[in-house]
Structure 1
C-alpha cells in the first residue's frame, strides 16, 4: 500500500523561464524562492514516484483527437517539447507499470481516459519541476487534463478523477511513497485582448474557499466564475483533481502574488496529507 507524501499545487507560465527579468529582481527572487521551498518540502517526503497533473498545450493532442483525460504509460518523457522555451532539454524517467495500473483501475472505476506510450511534456509540466529543483531521476506518471479546447471536463468530474486517483494510489503496491503535483492556473488570459490582466479577486476567493475546506463551495465557485479569470484559468481543473486526491485534508496556501508582467496569478499550495 502506497503512502501519499504530499499533494502540491502550483501555477505554471513559460514567461517565468523565458523572461524572468521582466519583473523586479526582488519579486523574481521571492517567487523563485517559493518554488524552491515547495521543492525542498516535496523532496523531504522522499517519494519513490511522482504523479504530475497538468494539461497539454496542443503538443500531444489537437482538434482531430483531444481526450478529456490521458494517462502516461511511457518508459520516459521528453521535455520540453517547445523549442523556444529557455530550459534544459531533459528526459524524465517514467513508471510504465504504475501508469498501466492507474489506467486499468480507472476503467474499473468507470472512468475512460485515453493513454499514451509516446507522450511528450511541455512547459506546463516542466516549469514547476524546474523551478522546484525536483530530482530529475524521480520516475513520473503524467495525467493530462483537457483545459484548452471546449468541451472540457467539468470541475466536479475533475474532482472525482482526483478522488479516484487518491484511492488507486493508496492501494498500489508497486511503490511505497508517492507525491502529487497539480500544476496550472491561476487567473491568466492567453492570446486575447485581456492578456496581461490578472483577476486577483477571483484568485483570492478561490484560495480562501480551499483554505476553509469548503469543497462544495470551491467547486461551485470554480464552475460559475472561472470565465471571469481568463482562458488560462481553466487549468484549475488540476487543482480540483488535487483536492479530490487529498480526501478532505486541509489546504495551506504557501504563496500568492498577482504578477501582471508574467500574465498570471502565481499560486502555490499544499494539502496537508
Structure 2
C-alpha cells in the first residue's frame, strides 16, 4: 500500500428534489444558495478529480425493505429517472470498487456490494450539478441507509468514512468527496416507515418496490412527482412554510462538522436526530461520512461553512460545506 497523500476536495450539499423543480424559477430567497453551490461546482472543475466518491441515500426506488442493507458499495450503477434526479449510466471503476469493498470487509465492515445498483436523486441530483454528464468522471457511489428503520449509528458512519478515506489516500489520485442531503426536513409523509404506512398497498410497495401489489414503480414515482410539485408551488407562492426546519439544530450540526471534531457525533442517537430534525435529518450521516473520509484522506484539510438558510423554498434547512482550494486546484499549504 502506497502511503503518499492524494489531493482532496470535499463538498456537502443538498440533494432535495425541489432544487431541480425550481431550477429555472427566479426565487430571490434561493439566490445566495445557488451562488454558493455554483462556486463549489467551479472549485470541483478546477480541482479536476480523477475519482469522485459520493455518499448518497436511496429513497425507496432502487432499494426496498425486501432487503435493506445499511451500507452498499456500487460496483456498477445506473441513475433512474425519478423526481429530482437525472437518469443515466454512472462511470463506476470496477477495480477500485472491488478493492474498496475487500478492504472494508477486511477491516470488519460488513459491506454489501451491488453490480447493478439503481440510484435515485440522492446520487444523481448532486452529480448532475457537479459533473453535468453523470458519466463524465469515474464515480464511486456508496449508499448509506438513511430512509428506513433501523439506521446505522452516526459513529459507524464516521468510522466507515474514515476507512474509505484511508483507502482513497492509498490510490495517489485527486479524489473529490461529496456528501449529500439534509439538513432538517421531514420525509415520512412521502416515504413512510413500514409501521406507519397508511395501508397494505403502500406497505407492499415499501417491501417489494412494485413487484407485488397494485402500486407499480411508475405509479409510485408519479405520485412523488405530483406531491413534490405541489409542495414546491405552495412554498414559493407563500401558502406554506415547512414547519420541520430546525435552524438552531442545523447550525449546531454545521458548527460541529466544520470543526472537524467528528467523534462528537458519536453520542447523537437516531432518536435525537429524528426528534430534532425529522426523518430527512437522518441524511446528516452522508455528510459525516464524506467529511470523515476527506479528513482521513488528508488530515490537514480544513472545512468551511459557506452557506446556511432556513428560508430557501426547498423545504429543508439548506447548507453548503466545503474545503477550500487554491486557484490551481491544489490543497492550501
| TM-score bucket (shorter structure) | 0.7 to 0.9
Match of 2:279 among 231, 235, 238: 231
Is 1:258 the counterpart of 2:256? The answer is no
Q: CA deviation at 1:172?
A: 2.6
Do the aligned partners of 2:55 and 2:180 also contact (CA within 8 Å) in 1?
A: yes
Do the aligned partners of 1:49 and 1:177 also contact (CA within 8 Å) in 2?
A: yes
- Cα distance in 2 for partners of 1:190, 1:262 equals 13
Unmatched tracts of structure 1, length 5 or more: none
With the length of structure 1 as denominator, give the TM-score of the two structures: 0.88
- Cα distance in 2 for partners of 1:270, 1:182 equals 10
- Cα distance in 2 for partners of 1:203, 1:244 equals 18
Q: CA deviation at 1:49?
A: 1.2
Q: CA deviation at 1:62?
A: 1.1
Q: CA deviation at 1:79?
A: 2.0
Is 1:267 the counterpart of 2:302? The answer is no
Match of 1:185 among 147, 168, 182: 182
Match of 1:165 in 2: 164
Q: CA deviation at 1:21?
A: 6.5
- SS of alignment partner, residue 313 of structure 2: helix
Match of 1:79 in 2: 79
Residues 9/161 of structure 1: CA separation in 2 closer, same or farther (3 Å cut): same
- Cα distance in 2 for partners of 1:51, 1:36 equals 19
Do the aligned partners of 1:43 and 1:134 also contact (CA within 8 Å) in 2?
A: no
Is 1:51 the counterpart of 2:57? The answer is no
- Cα distance in 2 for partners of 1:139, 1:223 equals 33
Unmatched tracts of structure 2, length 5 or more: 191-240, 325-330
- SS of alignment partner, residue 111 of structure 1: coil
Residues 242/89 of structure 1: CA separation in 2 closer, same or farther (3 Å cut): closer
- SS of alignment partner, residue 47 of structure 1: coil
Q: CA deviation at 1:179?
A: 1.1
Q: CA deviation at 1:120?
A: 1.8
Match of 1:11 in 2: 14
Across the two proteins, how many residue pairs are aligned to each other?
266
1:157-182 C-alpha deviation (Å, 9 max, x unpaired)? 00000110011111136xx2211111
Do the aligned partners of 2:52 and 2:175 also contact (CA within 8 Å) in 1?
A: yes
- Cα distance in 2 for partners of 1:32, 1:79 equals 23
Higher strand share: 1
With the length of structure 2 as denominator, give the TM-score of the two structures: 0.73
Match of 1:60 in 2: 62
Do the aligned partners of 1:196 and 1:262 also contact (CA within 8 Å) in 2?
A: no
1:37-57 C-alpha deviation (Å, 9 max, x unpaired)? 111111211111111101111
Residues 111/196 of structure 1: CA separation in 2 closer, same or farther (3 Å cut): same
Residues 144/240 of structure 1: CA separation in 2 closer, same or farther (3 Å cut): same
Q: CA deviation at 1:260?
A: 6.0
Do the aligned partners of 2:79 and 2:90 also contact (CA within 8 Å) in 1?
A: yes
Q: CA deviation at 1:142?
A: 0.3
Residues 214/224 of structure 1: CA separation in 2 closer, same or farther (3 Å cut): farther
1:192-246 C-alpha deviation (Å, 9 max, x unpaired)? 4996531111001111122233333344347573121110010111112123211
- Cα distance in 2 for partners of 1:197, 1:267 equals 15
Residues 180/212 of structure 1: CA separation in 2 closer, same or farther (3 Å cut): closer
- Cα distance in 2 for partners of 1:6, 1:197 equals 31
